[in-house]
Copies of this chain bind each other. A is one copy, B any other.
Amino acid sequence: MNDPSIFRTSGGVTAPQGFTAAGVRCGLKSGSEDLAVIYTALPATAAALFTRNRICAAPIVISRKHLRHKEFHAIVVNAGNANACTGHQGLKDALEMTELTAHCLGLRPREVLVASTGIIGRKMDMDKIRQGIKEACKVLSSEGNESCSRAILTTDLQPKTAARMFYLGKKEIPAIIGGIAKGSGMIHPNMATMLAFLTTDVNIEHKCLNKALKIAVDKTFNMITVDGDTSTNDSVFILANGKAGTPLIEDKKTEEFEIFSTALGEVCLDLARQIAADGEGATCLVRVEVEGALSKRDAKAVAKSIASSNLVKTAIFGRDPNWGRILCAVGYSGAKINPDKVSLWIGSEQVVERGCPLHDFNRETASAALKEKEVLIRVSLGQGKSTATAYTCDLTYDYIRINAEYHT
Contact = CB atoms under 8 A, between A and B. Distances in A.
Interface stretch (A96-104, A173-181, A206-214, A321-329): A321-329
A123 B407 CA distance: 47
A53 interface: yes
Contacts of A320: 404, 406-408
Given A121-B323, A404-B318, A55 B330 contact: yes
Contact of A328 (B229, B318, B337): B229
Copies held by the complex: 2
Contact of A87 (B55, B329, B332, B355): B355
Interface stretch (A37-45, A307-315, A385-393): A307-315
Interface string A68-103: 000000000000001011010000000000000000
Interface residues of A, number: 64
A286 to B, nearest CB: 14
A354 B127 CA distance: 28
A17 to B, nearest CB: 38
A329 B337 CA distance: 29
B400 A229 contact: no
A186 interface: yes
B314 A408 contact: no
A333 B53 CA distance: 8
Interface SS of chain A: helix, strand, loop or mixed? loop
Nearest to A398: B400
Nearest to A331: B55
A195 interface: no
Interface string A180-202: 00000110101010000000000
Contacts of A331: 53-55, 230, 232
Contacts of A407: 318, 320, 322
A217 to B, nearest CB: 17
B404 A54 contact: no
A11 interface: no
A186 B22 CA distance: 46
15 contacts: A52-B332, A55-B328, A55-B331, A56-B339, A85-B324, A120-B324, A121-B324, A228-B310, A229-B328, A229-B329, A317-B400, A317-B404, A320-B407, A320-B408, A396-B404
A-B CB proximity, top 9 nearest: A120-B324, A55-B331, A318-B404, A314-B403, A230-B332, A53-B331, A121-B357, A227-B310, A54-B331
